[in-house]
Structure 1
Amino acid sequence: MDFPTFETQRLKLVHIDHQYDQAYFDIMSEDKVTEYYGMDSLKKVNQASKIIDSFEDTYMKKHGIRWGIIWKETRTFIGTIGLNNLSTWSKRAEIGYELHPDHWRKGIATEAIRSVLGYSFREMGLFRMGAITFPDNVSSNNLLEKVGFKKEGILRGYLYQGDKSHDAYVFSMLRSEWLD
């Protein structure tokens, strides 16, 4: 099965393989990236390699899909975006993403999210897209609302990070609410 890749005005969304181990590690070893990620910062490049293997495994099992975000101007790997908990039978998934801090607040995540939503609703035929965030992750919460997600409520003790459980917000968007 061919991995779907596509481009936006400034980005390429590509298959993630081991050529990106170091770049992915450089992102996920940043405490400010993982602060609200639901996992601790990576300490070794081989951890990044194992996660990239898990992206491939998840894709092959049709439980999710993860794209690398390439900044076209410099051909640099700057983050990932993808679908977690994918159920094509139930026509739903959850979106997740992260960017290197050097690329925050440039509209990149917005551009990538809109592209993945378009693919998910048009090409994959999904009906519902969810998102799970830490309540304190104000930037991500605002971003999701900006692109049209609605906050549904709180999942108590849903995320585990830093040796403790944390509440989470759950957001969603339905295909009928998505504006192409």
Structure 2
Amino acid sequence: MKVFLIGYMGCGKSRMGRTLSSMLDVPFIDLDKYIEEKFFKTVPQIFAEEGEAEFRKKEQAALKEVAEFDPVIVATGGGAPCFFDNMELMNQAGLCVFLDVDSHELANRLIQSKNERPLIKGKSPEELVHFIDEMMLVRRPFYEKASCILKGKEILPEQVIAEIEKEK
């Protein structure tokens, strides 16, 4: 079983991945953390020192590596599905699940988040909703290629497990 969790930042990919890992006794990989451990740099450092294009190459290579693991639950970074053939890779390797949370809820979560997120730093709640809406115009066509789309404010692990069961 291979499950790839995709969606915009703040949609709950990492939280969902950790929960599913515990419930199903399957290893969990946060792709950004995997990249950071592999290259001994944070994602923001890689962006700053090497640029986005180089980061995306590293991200694709890391995604190909973790797609070979079995079983595994992978939470990707929000942009990962939008580059190269990453969506095709995830859909072919396993179950790709888009956690589709509305922009107002995402903004709420991101404002309350303790994580420092450079892309949204200093934005007011209204600016943040507008920013998310703009980004989703670009990303949604990629996200919607997922083999499974779960929509809602609170997507439950049981919903993902039900989709996994359908794939068996």
TM-score by shorter chain over 0.5: no
Q: Which structure exhibits the higher relative contact order, with contacts defined as CA atoms closer than 8 Å and separated by 6 or more residues?
A: 2
Give TM-score, length-normalised by structure 1.
Answer: 0.29
Higher share in helix: 2
